[in-house]
Amino acid sequence: MVRTFCTNQIRNTEELSGSVWSFVPESGEHAGTSYSVVVPTVWENLPEFASYRGRGCFRRKFYGEGNVRLVCKGISHTAEIYLDGRLLGKHYNAYTPFSLLARRIPSGEHELKIIVDNRFSENSALHIPNDYMTYGGINRGIVLEHLKKAYIEYLHVEVGKAGKNGWKVLLTTKINGISDSSERYTLRLQADPLFTDEIAIDLEANESRIVQKEIYLENVSEWTPENPVLYKVRAILSDTEPMDDLIERFGFREIKVSGKYILLNGRSIRIKGFNRHEDHPMFGCAMPLQAIEQDIQIAMDLGANAIRTSHYPNDELFLDLCDEQGILVWEESHARGLKEYHMQNPYFQKQSEDCIREMVMNHKNHPCIFVWGILNECASETLYGRDCYTKQYRQLEELDRTRPRTSASNKHKNDICLDIPEIVSFNLYPEWYSDQNETAVDCIQDMMQWIRNNPVTRNKPFIVSEIGAGALYGYHTRTKDKWSEEYQCIALEHQLRAVLESAECCGVFIWQLTDVRISRERFENRPRTMNNKGIVDEYRRPKMSYEIVKDIFTSYDDYFETNL
């Protein structure tokens, strides 16, 4: 399953996920042994490979002929894809989708082989030993599309307010011809009951064309967290008869920044959110729909209205569910804790550009996404780092001008990149990592005062992008020691009230929703080799802080009272 709704009615699609594949590791004591696995999966789910770093081969057969397109939602982290023994393509990054086209394959049975590599090396600038686990496998859905002589690659929908009651809609459709002759097509765009339009298109042999259509609409229902109304738009490509289609969803909502506020359809939103990793003790990062939905329900029960996809683009199933349930999403590209020398890796710029492009081009229709993020806790205090931040912010702006940009910084007053994004975001851990004599109130007030006195940041919204404290599930002490559930309650209450009581801050993302597995290579000194700051543990069992957080979040309104 790759989406929560049907995206094609004409195009012939074959779901390869949810079926049995063979998996063969290339190294170690079990090298060459074949295992039957159901994709999506990560090999760490197999007892023999709980800590395996290396290469593995996934195989599956299918029947088909003509033009086929393989759509992969995520393979962790480096993939080589072969069709009938011939290299079809390569991809890097576990957390972004990609597609590969094979033309004019003969009729009959074909073998798909995917070689997956989850090793850390100089060739991998973004997947490094980190505060989360890098798994190995086909971690998201995978689909085979059987195409004709042209197909619709994407259908993007941009909306913006136009006047008091109107909305401007810009539809951008990319059509790829895979015929060796010139052809004439008709593109039909329809969103019942809003509009229908037809456009004639002439394509030369193997030509691609981007078609844009602007429409003005009135009397539509807006997408809001309280009432997340979604519309469907369908593009149909025809010659003498319909031959391809693509269905997308969108919502009428507008995100703007006005001074120190973030406006959702003109109202100043207060962010009450969680950072969330794609991680589960039963599934690793290959989380099925039911497990993703459980996480969203936990966050909503806690009174949250937002989730940050720390520290990489998420499975589109998660975004679909957030669209449907009115959860705001901070989605960010893949990078965490990179020092300057990491960012000087010769692969860093290209791999970062690819990640940002694949994230935005595949996810920009989701109304739940209210901000794009980059480079969590990276070298924003250095001149070289600033150059990297500038390039990535510029790329985001070129790809999508409808959303603000930000980056979660732990450089704080030493950050030299705060002038570039529209939103300032700091990761703060008072009463946990910082001086124990500094209270959460002192820390938060000091940062807010500095932000409002700094001419670069004083007129920008401010978000506390991370805050929290660790606790080991079931560990209790009378003296409320660190790592006890009692201490986590105390620290979180101090932190959250200090942030949410201030009108100078747009909101907060708690670190984090659940306990998660981390890289043994770097963080083995952490208890259980896990990040234990979850409000629930890895099995989703609530800690004592659950009720504290719920009480605080539900006591604050989702909007600020302003006269904007």
The Cα–Cα gap between 335 and 353 comes to: 12
Q: Which two tokens stand for residue 200?
A: 């004639």
Sketch out the chain's domains with CATH numbers. 17-140 (2.60.120.260), 150-250 (2.60.40.10), 260-469+492-515+545-553 (3.20.20.80)
The Cα–Cα gap between 398 and 371 comes to: 15
- Per-residue pLDDT band for 286 (boundaries 50, 70, 90) equals very high
Tell me what the mean pLDDT of segment 167-187 comes to.
98
The Cα–Cα gap between 393 and 256 comes to: 17
In 349-477 the beta strands, taken as DSSP E runs, fall at 369-373, 405-406, 408-409, 424-427, 462-467
Instruction: Please indicate, yes or no, whether the overall pTM of this predicted structure exceeds 0.75.
Output: yes
Of the candidates 236, 249, 83, 60, the one whose C-alpha atom is nearest the C-alpha of residue 148 is 236
pLDDT on residue 515:
99
pLDDT digits (tens, 9 = 90+) for 480-513: 999 999 999 999 999 999 999 998 999 999 999 9
- From the number of C-beta atoms within 10 Å of its C-beta (0-12, 13-18, 19+), residue 385 rates as buried
Strand (E) or helix (H) holding 396 = helix 383-399
- Per-residue pLDDT band for 564 (boundaries 50, 70, 90) equals low
CB distance 545 to 534 below 8 Å: no
- Per-residue pLDDT band for 233 (boundaries 50, 70, 90) equals very high
The Cα–Cα gap between 386 and 355 comes to: 19
pLDDT digits (tens, 9 = 90+) for 423-453: 999 999 999 987 667 899 999 999 999 999 9
CA distances from 114 to 23, 58, 80, 440, 533 (A): 10, 5, 6, 49, 35
pLDDT digits (tens, 9 = 90+) for 290-309: 999 999 999 999 999 999 99
The Cα–Cα gap between 388 and 395 comes to: 11
pLDDT digits (tens, 9 = 90+) for 80-130: 999 999 999 999 999 999 999 999 999 999 999 999 999 999 999 999 999
- Per-residue pLDDT band for 341 (boundaries 50, 70, 90) equals very high
Of the candidates 471, 445, 404, the one whose C-alpha atom is nearest the C-alpha of residue 263 is 404
SS3 state at 349: helix
- Per-residue pLDDT band for 562 (boundaries 50, 70, 90) equals confident
Among all chains, which residue has been given the structure tokens 């009174």? 303
H-helix segments, 257-382 = 289-301, 316-325, 340-343, 348-363
Q: Which two tokens stand for residue 145?
A: 């599309």
The Cα–Cα gap between 534 and 276 comes to: 9
Tell me what the mean pLDDT of segment 21-44 comes to.
97
Report the relative pairing of strands 507-510 and 271-275 from DSSP bridges.
parallel
> What is the share, in percent, of the chain residues with pLDDT greater than 70?
99
> What is the share, in percent, of the chain residues with pLDDT greater than 90?
96
pLDDT on residue 178:
97
pLDDT on residue 435:
66
Tell me what the mean pLDDT of segment 253-267 comes to.
97
pLDDT on residue 238:
98
Mean model confidence pLDDT for the chain: 97
The Cα–Cα gap between 7 and 100 comes to: 18
Of the candidates 390, 360, 394, 407, the one whose C-alpha atom is nearest the C-alpha of residue 158 is 360
Tell me what the mean pLDDT of segment 134-148 comes to.
99
